[in-house]
Structure 1
Amino acid sequence: MTRPSLALPALLLALAGPALGQGVPGTNSQGSDQGPPAEAGWLPKRVAQLQALDKVTARITVLDANVNQAVTFGTLSITVRACNARPPDEVPDAAAFIEVRDSTAQPSAPPAFRGWMLANAPAAHMLEHPVYDLRILDCR
């Protein structure tokens, strides 16, 4: 029997490392809530382009979400807390720290999603919801 390959987990960690290492906004070494530090090659942006899918109707909607301003999609309230992109001379990527609340949940319930989403690794951290899917496309 062969051992399972560690290549995929290592690749996901390599792709997500700068963004995932920050954990929660406001905790990076500069004390900023803008996510990955500048020396990691990320540039802070003000608008996140999100793709939302309603699994019931198969409707796909592209949303522009300003940082720290909630947008709605169905019963979801989506707030982008930080949005970062790679410089133009590097491989395109975007990382956004997103909080998602569902209006059908109890007010005291935790968010449906709270964490970093990566454009180049959408399955690394994703919203797990029975009706909706959400992913980050770009930060501008």
Structure 2
Amino acid sequence: GGRLASGLDSVTATAPALAGQLLLHAFPDRIALQRGGRGRFVMANGRGAELPETERLAGSQMLVIADLTGRAAQARVLAAAEVTRGDVEAELPGEIKTGDQIFFDRQSRQVRARRATRLGAIVFEETPLPRPSGPAVSQALVEG
């Protein structure tokens, strides 16, 4: 761990964009998007991750996390590099996918549809679609 961290620190300091690009390939499941405030992120694998608000990277919109510690729901980031959605699209073409989803919304107790652009558990954009009908509605109710 120590050699990775010190080597990563030197690459990150001298060529932060290169570090991010390399880490995207090494840890695609740890690409993380800020959610719920400064220093709080959700990773593509669905886990949460936190950085202290005082850390420089805490204000980043997107990171790729090289090292973290702690419990699955909310791990603490130990090493990361800032990346952009453009970096992800360039380095991992085809990983960001857009698809339609029909689901049962428990809060409104209705079947709804949406088009979402996502990378694993990260949702970049979400657009409501017209109310679904037919067999898809039955399937959404079964899956509940």
Answer whether TM exceeds 0.5 for this pair: no
Over alpha carbons, which structure has the higher Rg? 2
TM range (shorter): under 0.3
Which structure has greater helix proportion? 2
Structure ranking higher on relative contact order (CA contacts 8 Å, 6+ apart): 1
